[in-house]
Amino acid sequence: MYGLIGQMLAAPGKRDALLAILAEGTADMPGCLSYVLATDPTNPEAIWITEVWVDKAAHAASLKLPAVQAAIGKARPIIAGFPQRFETTPIGGQGLKA
């Protein structure tokens, strides 16, 4: 499995709009085992995204999906940055099959 944990910053006052775009554009991604959007209780503009994929290739392929490309285009103007990004190797857990 392949995992990503990343922090995304929204433009001031745009976090909820960004969350809505991300939730809508990532609903059906082949190879995605988990895609969790979370707010940051210490930063009102920050979003944490935790992803688990069957493999790194599935993640790369997802970035070419029309719905994902549309979400990226719609979100780009209200994204203020990507301050943190971590790759992981998930081994299992609640809801995941190793």
Q: What angle do CA 42, 48, 53 make, to 5 degrees?
A: 160
Query: What pTM value is reported for the model?
Result: 0.90
**pLDDT tens per residue, range 36-91:** 999 999 999 999 999 999 999 999 999 999 999 999 999 999 999 999 999 999 99
**Domain ranges (residues) in the chain:** 2-88
Residues 6 or more apart in contact with residue 86 via CB below 8 angstroms: 4, 5, 6
Reply yes or no on whether the pLDDT at 96 is more than 80: no
Buried b (16+ CB within 10 A) or exposed e, 64-79: eeeebeebeebbeebb
Any idea which residue has 């719905």 for tokens? Answer: 67
**pLDDT tens per residue, range 29-40:** 999 999 999 999
* CATH 2.40.170.20 at 2-88, yes or no: no
